[in-house]
Chain A
Amino acid sequence: DIVMTQSPESLAVSLGERATISCKSSQSILHRTNYKNFLSWYQQKPGQPPRLLLFWASTRESGVPDRFSGSGSGTDFTLTISSLQAEDVAVYYCHQSYSTPQTFGQGTKVEI
């Protein structure tokens, strides 16, 4: 199984400041046929289901603000919130769909 390891477990960022979350996979999730990383990022607010933010590691889902960005390839990935807003308080998860069983990171809680 591919293990997804996120860090940190939680972080507190001032409004308007940058938040950075790391996600590392135990093996490469870069698909050799299309050179896409099968890595997605989700945001989950209390009492709500998760929401897809980014897919293919760095492509923003429609409607997601451009302060959210993703980077990385192979085994190391990063989610960046460039200027934290109050509504960004949530838990963020990375997810690999490269192989079965699909796996999630343990989550990173972002607070103000």
Chain B
Amino acid sequence: QKEVEQNSGPLSVPEGAIASLNCTYSDRGSQSFFWYRQYSGKSPELIMSIYSNGDKEDGRFTAQLNKASQYVSLLIRDSQPSDSATYLCAGGFNTDKLIFGTGTRLQVFP
């Protein structure tokens, strides 16, 4: 059973700090990972995708993938209250399907 696991949180960080969101997965055959942001009452919004080991940066977001450790993370620099949302990690495991984690709720307080 392929699984993607996340700590449900909430993760609380002060405004301006770095928020670190983590995700582990069970299948070494994974090929791709995605981070989605979901505001309350809204749909998931794709914010980052990563396919190879290492770091990928996009603005204030950095995704990190370590396939040997089966670990993927999302760093949000200079966190803002508007970043408060649930962040979903999803993995693609050599199929068309994505397996989603249950999400981590992030709270950024002023």
Are A and B associated in one complex?
no
